Every structure is written in C-alpha cells, then in structure tokens.
Amino acid sequence: MDKIKVWFASSEVAPFVKTGGLADVAGSLPKALKRLGVDIRVVLPKYSQIDPEFVSKMEFAGSCQVSLSWRNQYCGVYKYDYEGITYYFIDNEYYFFREWLYGQYDDGERFSFFCKAILEVLPMIGFKPDIIHLNDWQTGMVSVLLDAHYRGRESGFYKNIHTLFTIHNLKYQG
C-alpha cells in the first residue's frame, strides 16, 4: 500500500517562526505523522523573522507567478530538510518581510496570496498530495480555491486532492 501524502500548510511552524500554540502543533504534528508512515511536507511563508541560520540552509526550489486580482505576484519557493521533514517556504518580500506576522492592514491579501501559492507550487515541486491539511484562518481559503479554480484543470493534477481544515483557536478568525 502506498503511503498517504500530506501537504501540511500553516502560517507559522516552530522552530522557524512562532507567535503562539499554532506553531507548536505545526512543528510537532508533522513529525508524529511521519513516524506513522505518512509522506508529509510542510509549507509556510518565508517571513523576515526566520533565523538567518535557517535561511542560510534553505535551497532555492523554483519560482512562479501567482495571479492576484489584476496582477501577478512573484512566488519563490525555498526548500529545507530539517529533522527528517521537508519544509517549503513561500517567498514574497512584499507580503512576508514585515515587522509582525499578523495584524497588518492587508492581512487578507497577504494570506490570499499564501493560499494560492500553497496550490500553485505543488506541480512545480513535483508533489501531489492526497490531503492538504490546512491550519487556521490563514490557510482556510485553500479549500474554496481548490474547488473553484484548480480541481477542473485539464491536467487533472488537482482532481483527487482532499482537504482537512483544523481550527486551533476559534478566537482568531482573521
């Protein structure tokens, strides 16, 4: 039997970047799932707050353009294997090179970009998950985008991908 493939999406992951409990769960759950035999990859934004020691070990994996309304935005992808897990960092300095992770006037746009990037980069990195595990409001739009704009594409790449949405703290709704 083939391993279940999971694309684990979170706006923060310990030890790379953390503001609260979401980062702790996103840092530990993928490791536990890997121990159970799951083929898991983690995706998160490449924030300016990430320790330069981690950044120096990241490898450029490619780039693409993400369409957002009337314009296209650069989307770089960096890969880093850390403690047995492969992490992908979505790079866009306009959206993620900020003083704070959250509480910006354009958080809706920033995380809309992140949600589209979560889907756009999959063919580029050559990973077709069975499940995309979404964590909190910052990734919640992926399910809607997948059904509305990706699942019906001619390539069939996105056809059988399922989503799981976990709410870690109902208090934070974006």
Q: Is residue 33 part of a domain?
A: yes
Report whether pLDDT(138) > 60. Answer: yes
Tens digits of per-residue pLDDT, 18-73? 998 899 999 999 999 999 999 999 999 999 999 999 999 999 999 999 999 889 99
66 forms bridges with which residues in the sheet?
73
Q: Is residue 100 part of a domain?
A: yes
Whole-model pTM: value is 0.94
Q: How confident is the model at residue 152 (pLDDT cuts 50, 70, 90)?
A: confident
Percentage, residues of the chain above pLDDT 70: 95
Domain that holds residue 121: 5-166
* Among 141, 129, 124, residue whose Cα is nearest residue 61: 124
Mean pLDDT of 113-139: 96
Q: Is residue 9 part of a domain?
A: yes
Residue given tokens 């870690």 in the structure block: 168
Report whether pLDDT(154) > 60. Answer: yes
* Among 113, 120, 105, residue whose Cα is nearest residue 174: 105
State the CATH number of the domain containing residue 132.
3.40.50.2000
**How many structural domains compose the chain?**
1
Q: Is residue 173 part of a domain?
A: no
5 forms bridges with which residues in the sheet?
39
Q: Is residue 28 part of a domain?
A: yes
Give the pairing of strands 39-45 and 85-91.
Answer: parallel
Cα-to-chain-centroid distance, residue 101: 14
Q: Is residue 126 part of a domain?
A: yes
Q: What is the DSSP string of 25-94?
A: HHHHHHHHHHHTT-EEEEEEE--TTS-HHHHTT-EEEEEEEEEETTEEEEEEEEEEEETTEEEEEEE-HH
Report whether pLDDT(2) > 60. Answer: yes
Q: Is residue 73 part of a domain?
A: yes
Give the pairing of strands 131-135 and 5-9.
Answer: parallel
Q: Is residue 122 part of a domain?
A: yes
Q: What pLDDT score was predicted for residue 118?
A: 98
